[in-house]
A and B are shown apart, each in its own frame.
Chain A
Amino acid sequence: MREPFEDRSPLTEATFYILVSMAVEPKHGYAILKDVKEVSQGRVALSTGTLYGVLSRLLDQGLIERVEEEEAGETGRVRKFYSLSRCGRRRLEAEMERMLGLVAAAQRRLAQSGG
């Protein structure tokens, strides 16, 4: 089986928050939307179209997976849940390291100029 393509380019803000949102437990689409808004403190309000565009790409890249389908109570509707794959977790951690590196570099430079 082909290995998922290891993309090292920086994640967009929306993609980053979507991955963060799935870090704790699998979530369905609407829960991801709400969680992203909450985690970003209202700064990132995703639309349905943007969310599913990102989800389809993350699925193709193997960064997330559909974990289960569950009937939602009386309606009998099927809900699909999404969770971080192992590869997705590594990608998220790598992105955090990259961001921490950026922040550390900026802090060092600011400390020099301030001193």
Chain B
Amino acid sequence: MGKRLVGLYSCMLAWLPQGFREEFAEEMMQVFAARVREAGSCGNREVFWTFIKELRALPGLWLVAYQRERRVSNMKTWESSAAPDDRSSWGAALAAALPLVGFVCVFAMAGVARRLLGAIHLEVLFRLLWADAMRIAVMPIVFYLLLLGGLLAAWLKDFPRWSYPYLGWLLVFLVPSLGSSGLNDPTLWRIWGPLLVTLLLAILLRPSLKPLRALFHGWRQDWTLSVFAVLGIVAFLNLFDEMPGPREAWQSLCTAVLVVGAIAYMRISSRTGRVAVLLGSMVVSVALGAGVRAYYWHGLSDSVVGWAAWFVVLMAPALFSAALRRLRPSRLAGQ
């Protein structure tokens, strides 16, 4: 009877989470077997009651073990998520720059496709399939797929540092008034369906709140990530569709500056250096865009106050996070 009960107890321990099982299950088996042996000297009835007492304790143990496993897993996630002063790999740096590279490609390809399809009169077909021309519909859809794929991968990998520019792009779709031309009103709404499908797919593939916790933790740990996320929006704010001809080239150049900023951000280890390259690339990119517009309109057309307001709004999360980090130690010291 004793051996059978030990076997049964062993099966029940198999329901414990893996980490706890590996650490304690063997010992627990030894202790349980010793208890059964001891009870055996008083007869089978005593063995049976010992087993019942042990069974009663198992639900509580499962609860404790699963809570512990969750705690350990959370700590591992936090330790592995964006450590503020680590330099990212080239792969991660390229992944971070991918949405911006995609944005450049959209312009380059859209220009080529427009001319090519315009020449062979296929644009009419696309006009029938979509409410808008190929230029503002099909190419952006390729770009949307890139963004959505990145967001899905980011969810599955607990939102590592490279994923923040993808999240920044989401703001463009959440706040339609951010768009100034090209990808704005006629196409923005098209992202909502695929975005919802991506979210459902992400939840199906990884039904856990861990990615969101890791995202929040990453943001709290490193406020420069908020600035990093803003890069994509800056590329979008630079859009300008009035000028014919070399517009794509200028647009690509403005965005390429941001690509360099994104890669440098991922590869630099000091926080000051990171913020410097981010702000530097944003300023250069915006200045280039403003220069092209000034050339076209024969003078600066954009409101400086409007740009400054956008800058404050976009930097608000970073400023808020930085202020929190500065306030907290002094408050703790005061206690």
Contact = CB atoms under 8 A, between A and B. Distances in A.
Contacts of A48: 28, 31-32, 35, 54, 57
B60 interface: yes
B65 A30 contact: no
A30 B60 contact: no
Interface stretch (B19-27, B201-209, B267-275): B19-27
B57 A47 contact: yes
A56 B60 CA distance: 13
A49 B68 contact: no
Interface residues of B, number: 22
Nearest to B68: A56
A80 B24 CA distance: 10
Given A30-B30, A30-B31, A56 B24 contact: yes
A76 interface: no
B23 A56 contact: yes
Contact of A29 (B28, B53, B60): B28
A29 to B, nearest CB: 4
Given A47-B56, A50-B60, 4 more contacts: A29-B27, A47-B57, A48-B28, A52-B28
Shortest 4 CB-CB contacts between residues of A and residues of B: A49-B57, A49-B61, A47-B57, A53-B64
Interface of B: 20, 23-24, 26-28, 30-32, 34-35, 53-54, 56-58, 60-61, 64-65, 68, 71
Interface of A: 28-30, 33, 45, 47-53, 55-57, 60, 77-80
